[in-house]
Amino acid sequence: MAVSRRDVFRWAGAAAVAGGAVAGAGGVAAAAAGGAGRWARLRARLAGELLLPGDDGYEAARLPFNSLFDHQRPAAIARCVRPEDVQRSLEEARRRGIRVAARGGGHSYAAYSTPHDGLVIDLGPMNRIEVRPDGTAVVGAGARLGDVYAALAAAGRCLPLGNCPSVGIAGFTLGGGLGWVDRAFGLTCDRLRAARVVTVDSRVITAAEDRSPDLFWALRGGGGGNFGVVTSFEFATVPAPEVLTVFRIRFPAGSAADVLGAWQPWSAAAPDHLSSTCVVLPDGSVDLTGCSIGPEALLHAELARLGVDGPLEHAEVDYPTATAIMTQGHPPRNAFRASSRISDGLWDDPAAVAGTVRGMDSALLIVGALGGAIDRLRPTDTAYPHRGAPTSVEVFGTVGALPPEHVTREVDQAQVELARLIGSGTYINYLDPEQEDWAETAYRHNLRRLRAVARRYDPDGVLRFPQSVGAR
């Protein structure tokens, strides 16, 4: 069932009204006085802090990355320091029938880790990372990608991860995890070997290929917030590459049709060591960036086949430096609307694809090459279904001074048009609360099995949210 606009705005709109009331004069103090009593039981049972409206630290701790959702005010935030805190929090949520959500890095596009009037299970303090001599990394679910990059680099190891260092490893991995060396090493979830999970009935279990295999399958691409709360992940890392060449070519306004026309077949045929992304702006300019594992001569050989020319900036660097370059430039927070489509095959009309954002005020396209190691697994091997798809296109609109509805309209218009032009798949980590066909298109042939896993692990919909796999 598609989530309707009414459902989404029932949350966002009600939250805005209620949030305004709570934040009004005297509201915080009143809410705090009434709230503390109701939360005394949980507070006494936690080793970590419980933050309520009015407490020091509550205002900073509640904010999601996407500031369009700042009006959402959780009733309480449990800063968990151990799995038992997660167990106690889930018990409390079940006992009182309140909305509850886990939070890793807080980057959910629709702020689903910040339930209005609900309980946030904040894994932030559980961010320990251990890299074992055999290359296995045990990563606490509160770690951010930046922490993981740093700990692995210090041990000479690598995991395929994304571009924004403040994104949480939890939401990122559970949705799949697309990154800048994924064509060489696969999705982040492909390197997951086990996860510790607190189930909604507060059992602590390990999900792995040979233990709770249905849950383990679902955790690899089934999307954050479903099935249970992960407290730690165990990944098989690879040795960090010794030499990489990062590069950028900027093409001028009006060139997008030609650049995408050349880039698409080139990126699809590229060797696995080469990943690249085109950012297409409304004026038709293109920023092509990427990373080739190996010395610069390897990149030059590939670029000679690209078929469009532009001023090349590049650097042959070690892995920590490549990471620093590929993850730079993200603001600490942002107000944005976004959506995505994943292509069924090679698209026929690159000019039309570029045209989906032509002249828009905000929306741009982030067109990334998939394939390579991502396709070494079959579409049913993990819950991530898009094996074999050559490209992912994210539509991204920063709100800035524009009315949010205007940006929403632009993003929506572009994603509808892209579905017609390239295929209707969508990526669960770029979850769009406006997209009517999100469940079928994000999970495809895996949707039925995911729903069965959700029914098994969360039969009463304790973890439900407007775009959850199970009960909503």
Q: Which of 141, 197, 178, 186 is nearest to 366 (CA)?
A: 178
Contact letters (x/-) for ligand FAD, 229-248, by CB under 6 A? xx------------------
List 82, 96, 314, 330, residue binding ligand FAD (CB under 6 A): 330
**HSE-up of 60 (CA within 13 Å, CB side)?**
5
Stretch that binds ligand FAD, among 221-229, 271-279, 284-292, 444-452 (CB under 6 A): 221-229
CB of 34 to ligand FAD, least distance (A): 26
| Number of residues written out for the chain | 472
**DSSP structure class, residue 190:** G
DSSP secondary structure string for all residues of 131-156: E-TTSEEEEETT-BHHHHHHHHHHTT
389 part of the interface to ligand FAD, by CB under 6 A: no
CB of 30 to ligand FAD, least distance (A): 28
CB of 465 to ligand FAD, least distance (A): 6
Strand partners, 291: 246, 275
Question: Residue 111 in 3-state DSSP?
Answer: coil
> Among residues 189 and 357, whose Cβ is nearest to ligand FAD?
189
Contact letters (x/-) for ligand FAD, 124-153, by CB under 6 A? -----------------x------------
Please check whether residue 186 is in contact with residue 179, taking contact to mean a CB–CB distance below 8 angstroms.
no
Stretch that binds ligand FAD, among 102-110, 237-245, 304-312, 404-412 (CB under 6 A): 102-110
Looking only at residues 246 through 305 of this chain, which bind ligand FAD when binding is defined by CB under 6 A? none
224 part of the interface to ligand FAD, by CB under 6 A: yes
113 part of the interface to ligand FAD, by CB under 6 A: yes
CB of 74 to ligand FAD, least distance (A): 12
List 46, 68, 129, 164, residue binding ligand FAD (CB under 6 A): 164
List 3, 31, 76, 123, residue binding ligand FAD (CB under 6 A): 123
Cα–Cα distance measured from residue 406 to residue 387, given in angstroms and rounded to the nearest whole number: 34
Looking only at residues 169 through 208 of this chain, which bind ligand FAD when binding is defined by CB under 6 A? 170-172, 174-175, 177-179
Q: Which residues contact 347 (CB under 8 A, 6 or more apart)?
A: 264, 353, 391, 421, 422, 423
**DSSP structure class, residue 372:** G
CB of 172 to ligand FAD, least distance (A): 4
Please check whether residue 157 is in contact with residue 238, taking contact to mean a CB–CB distance below 8 angstroms.
yes
List 74, 168, 222, 372, residue binding ligand FAD (CB under 6 A): 168
CB of 457 to ligand FAD, least distance (A): 11
Looking only at residues 401 through 430 of this chain, which bind ligand FAD when binding is defined by CB under 6 A? 429
Please check whether residue 166 is in contact with residue 105, taking contact to mean a CB–CB distance below 8 angstroms.
yes
467 by Cβ neighbours in 10 Å (0-12 / 13-18 / 19+) ranks as: buried
List 104, 221, 372, 423, residue binding ligand FAD (CB under 6 A): 104
Looking only at residues 56 through 95 of this chain, which bind ligand FAD when binding is defined by CB under 6 A? 65
> Among residues 172 and 266, whose Cβ is nearest to ligand FAD?
172
Sequence-ordered alpha helix ranges (H) in 195-340: 213-219, 256-269, 296-303, 319-326
326 part of the interface to ligand FAD, by CB under 6 A: no
> Among residues 80 and 357, whose Cβ is nearest to ligand FAD?
80
Please check whether residue 247 is in contact with residue 239, taking contact to mean a CB–CB distance below 8 angstroms.
no
For 393, the token pair is 């296109």
Cα–Cα distance measured from residue 472 to residue 461, given in angstroms and rounded to the nearest whole number: 7
Sequence-ordered alpha helix ranges (H) in 24-114: 27-45, 58-62, 83-96
Cα–Cα distance measured from residue 402 to residue 332, given in angstroms and rounded to the nearest whole number: 20
396 part of the interface to ligand FAD, by CB under 6 A: no
The binding site for ligand FAD (CB under 6 A) comprises 65, 101-109, 112-113, 123, 141, 162-164, 167-168, 170-172, 174-175, 177-179, 224-225, 229-230, 330, 429
